[in-house]
């Protein structure tokens, strides 16, 4: 198929472009490079453009005769969303609306979007299933939840089918070292812990050490980025067969605390991770852990790489190879 990948120059997008290409799909990356990197566009053609530019999107869809879209282009930092909510509603909500308008006008029948576990907020029961009530506690989660509402409404009005993949914490890098996690600045826990271990930053900052968790630090579910890419392939194939829309969780189904990550980084690198405890951030729930049963049933998806040691080892390979 001919697949347009918005945000394909980014972290999860570039891994998905590699996976799509290896499965024989034709990939067109559409990205404004505001957070992505041209160097990561190694699989498929590149079109420079902003998702808010609906006319450019329509022209791209026509030129390449696009059959389906995978949508990664969004702002994705919880902390930033609290202080800059307008940026998140503009990019995530208005940007997705622009894509849906272009799809409607050009007759593109289906889309896979990057959702998030942030739509659940801070639920009482773990693990989290898709029927857990959505109650986002930050603008990032709220913007992603509204994206899903728009998808449902556009399907009702225009027949556009969709899958929203609600990831938990994306982690790791391409096992072959061909693409990886490249954020400026880097904010994710595993690469920052590695950066602290090898002296690229003075210390890892831990936001809160007195959460109601076994060791007082936040617990998250780390799913390898290559497993996420595989889920996107399975989703676009699922929709191409005329099947119905879904919301689907993606996680490793294992909760890992920050201190556990720090301990494993030491095992991998042989170096202790210097860290400091800072105040909690607004919008951070204590625990997020997935139930991915629906992904296993609907998509026949089974995580291949999502264990903590592999997440950290593959990230360490990328950091060492490219000296990030």
140 is catalytic: yes
- What is the number of other CB atoms lying within 10 angstroms of the CB of residue 267? 11
Interacting residues of 306 by C-beta distance below 8 A, sequence separation 6+ = 171, 172, 222, 223, 224, 227, 252
- φ and ψ of 105, to 5 deg: -70, -30
Which one of 64, 140, 259, 305 is the catalytic residue? 140
Q: How far is CA 233 from CA 16, 19, 200, in A?
A: 8, 7, 35
Contact between 140 and 116 (Cβ < 8 Å): yes
For the chain, give the secondary structure using H, E and C: CEEEEECCCCHHHHHHHHHHHHCCCEEEEEECCCCCCHHHCCCCEEEECCCCCHHHHHHHHHHHCCCEEEECCCCCCHHHHHHCHHHHHHHHHHHHHHHHHHHHHHCCCEEEEEEEHHHHCCCCCCCECCCCCCCCCCHHHHHHHHHHHHHHHHHHHHCCEEEEEEECEEECCCCCCCCCCCCCCCCCHHHHHHHHHCCCCCCEEEECCCCCCCCCCCEEEEEEHHHHHHHHHHHHHHHHCCCCCEEEEECCCCEEEHHHHHHHHHHHHCCCCCEEEECCCCCCCCECCECCHHHHHHCCCCCCCCCHHHHHHHHHHHHHHHCC
Catalytic (active-site) positions: 140
């Amino acid at each position: 198929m001919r697949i347009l990948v918005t945000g394909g120059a980014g972290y999860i997008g570039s891994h998905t472009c590699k996976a799509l290409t290896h499965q024989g799909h034709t990939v067109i990356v559409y990205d404004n490079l505001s957070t992505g990197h041209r160097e990561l566009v190694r699989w498929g053609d590149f079109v420079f453009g902003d998702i808010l530019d609906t006319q450019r999107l329509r022209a791209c869809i026509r030129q390449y005769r696009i059959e389906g879209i995978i949508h990664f282009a969004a702002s994705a930092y919880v902390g930033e969303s609290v202080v800059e909510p307008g940026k998140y509603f503009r990019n995530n909500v208005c940007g997705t609306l622009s894509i849906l308008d272009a799809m409607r006008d050009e007759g593109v029948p289906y889309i896979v979007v990057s959702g998030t576990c942030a739509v659940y907020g801070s639920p009482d029961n773990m693990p989290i299933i898709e029927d857990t009530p959505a109650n986002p506690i930050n603008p990032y989660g709220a913007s992603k939840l509204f994206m899903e509402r728009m998808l449902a409404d556009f399907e009702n009005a225009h027949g556009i089918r969709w899958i929203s993949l609600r990831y938990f914490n994306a982690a790791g890098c391409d096992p072959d070292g061909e693409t990886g996690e490249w954020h400026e600045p880097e904010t994710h826990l595993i690469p920052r812990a590695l950066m602290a271990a090898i002296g690229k930053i003075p210390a890892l900052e831990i936001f809160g050490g007195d959460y109601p968790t076994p060791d007082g630090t936040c617990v998250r579910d780390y799913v390898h980025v290559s497993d996420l890419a595989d889920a996107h392939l399975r989703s676009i194939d699922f929709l191409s067969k005329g099947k119905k829309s879904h919301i689907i969780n993606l996680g490793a189904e294992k909760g890992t605390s920050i201190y556990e990550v720090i301990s494993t980084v030491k095992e991998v690198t042989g170096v202790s991770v210097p860290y400091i405890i800072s105040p909690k951030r607004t919008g951070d729930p204590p625990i997020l852990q997935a139930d991915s049963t629906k992904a296993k049933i609907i998509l026949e998806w089974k995580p291949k790489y999502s264990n903590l040691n592999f997440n950290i080892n593959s990230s360490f390979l990328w950091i060492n190879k490219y000296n990030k």
